[in-house]
Amino acid sequence: MNYLELLYNGEYDELVRQTLPVLETDKEAERAFLRLFLQKSVVLLLCPHSTMQDLHKEADKGNKYAQYAVARRVAFENDMENAMWVAFRQMSDAADQGLPDAIAGLALTYEFGDIGFVDQEKADEMMDKAQQMGSELALRYQLKDLCFGFRFQDAQPQRAIEMANRLIADDEAKGIDPNGLWYYYRGCAVEATQGRMKAVDDYKRALELGVLQAYADLIIAAGYGDSTDTLSENEQYHDYLLKGMAARYSGAFFLEGARMLNCYSVMQDTFREKNIDLQGLSYDILQDCHEAIHALFSQAARLGDMAAWEQLGDMYYEGTYGFQQDYENAFACYSNGVKQESAACMEKLWKMMHDHLIDRPLDYVDQVTLWGARHESKRLLAEVVIAHQEGRLTRYHDEISKYYEPVFDAPDFTLDDDEDEEDDGRFDAFA
């Protein structure tokens, strides 16, 4: 049976049910099962009350595949107390049994300090080992880093194209079903070097192979072409948008919410130019518009979209688009974005506490600062160094002293938006 067809067709729960009993003996089933857990957007669509319940039961029995699957889901969802510790324990158990993707997943916990401390040397060693064992998760992260850059290093899209070509050719030579992620990241690299429309064929192929995130790229390509300022709401644009929503892909809901937000802003500007009071519009019209924007971003957020959590937080923070200004709700939205590893939400969460709009213990403020630095926020990287200079975050001395070196009076990373404010002489940092 071609289990990957279930993945391509979006039958994720059925894929788990059919492959779980035969993973040890059926390589095709193993490949399909593991590829499902490569994609966060797919993993979050698994039914938590049936499929995940079965996976938890199998994990408790020591099934390494179930342990790995539970670890990925818990880490992605991050909606329970000590979620990252639960994920770490399950991932460790699967890695101890020699599952290559679990070894790669465990490397990531050391890379980002999910369980307390960053250990980059250990992370690199485990990731190299996982790659040598053929882990597609390890290969995916290397390809992603080449496409978008990592640890403040520049992206290397040409190397990403070469690596993707090699992975695609290797699969063909082995007679292995193609992995849509290789096509997807090749598309990202081609877009960076040759323009968006040159990447469309790779994005289409990735989507055919079950990579949901390709919907966002195809929606943008259909709507904007190679430009960045003029949206064309053509038939193809709407086709990808509606299909993305039907597939429950968070990015489709986010992009439609962003489009409506832009339309609303344009309407506001037009009315302002003509001295027309926007509130003079029918209350029902305004209410419907606000509710539609809220519903789209809320759905995207529920499906794990970090940008949607940030946008909802912004609307509560500013009191716009029908939202009453509410710092507690803004803080809650940003906090959810932090759980989804949004560096932007980490920065905004930190700033709310720094400005005393929300009060939290200093230990928590410092922890958010450290999370941001680990996720490549230059703004919070500087604050980590400052906190360490002031005698805080001493538990992380080895990490901070190894990766973050202070540079006096560098004006590059300012924490306030006021460009006219003079440099106050605090330490900035580089990796």
State pLDDT tens for residues 21-41: 999 999 999 999 999 999 999
**Burial label, 25 (beta-carbon count in 10 A; 0-12, 13-18, 19+):** exposed
Q: Spell out the residues 6+ positions from residue 59 whose beta carbon is closer than 8 angstroms to its own.
A: 66, 67, 69, 70, 90, 93
Terminal C-alpha separation, the chain: 49
Name the CATH topology of 249-360. Answer: 1.25.40
Cα(194)–Cα(304) distance, integer angstroms: 30
Name the CATH topology of 136-226. Answer: 1.25.40
Amino acid at 151: R
Q: Which ranges of 340-431 would DSSP assign to H, the alpha helix? A: 343-354, 362-374, 378-389, 397-403
Domain positions in the chain are 1-134, 136-226, 249-360, 362-431
Q: How confident is the model at residue 235 (pLDDT cuts 50, 70, 90)?
A: very high
**Is a pLDDT exceeding 90 seen at residue 179?**
yes
- Give the burial string for 180-206 (b: 16+ CB within 10 Å, else e): bbbbbbbbbbbbbeeebeebbebbbbb
DSSP structural state of residue 249: -
- Give the burial string for 362-375 (b: 16+ CB within 10 Å, else e): eeebbebbbbbbbb
Q: How confident is the model at residue 283 (pLDDT cuts 50, 70, 90)?
A: low
pLDDT in the model for residue 287: 78
DSSP structural state of residue 179: P
pLDDT in the model for residue 284: 66
Percent of the chain with pLDDT over 90: 72
**Is a pLDDT exceeding 50 seen at residue 420?**
no
405, containing H or E segment: strand 405-408
Average confidence score pLDDT of the chain:
89
pLDDT in the model for residue 172: 96
Assign residue 361 a region: left if phi > 0, alpha if psi is -120 to 50, beta otherwise?
Answer: beta
pLDDT in the model for residue 280: 58
State pLDDT tens for residues 263-276: 887 776 676 666 76
Q: Spell out the residues 6+ positions from residue 16 whose beta carbon is closer than 8 angstroms to its own.
A: 33, 36, 46, 51, 54, 55, 69
Strand partners, 428: 407
Q: Which ranges of 44-155 would DSSP assign to H, the alpha helix? A: 51-60, 64-77, 83-96, 100-112, 120-132, 136-148
Q: How far is CA 146 from the centre of its chain?
A: 16
Q: How confident is the model at residue 333 (pLDDT cuts 50, 70, 90)?
A: very high
Residue that wins the pLDDT comparison between 213 and 415: 213
* Helix-, strand-, coil-residue percentages of the chain, each rounded to 5: 70, 0, 30
CB 136 within 8 A of CB 98: no
Q: What angle do CA 133, 177, 171 make, to 5 degrees?
A: 50
**Is a pLDDT exceeding 50 seen at residue 418?**
no
Class of the CATH-defined domain 1-134: mainly alpha
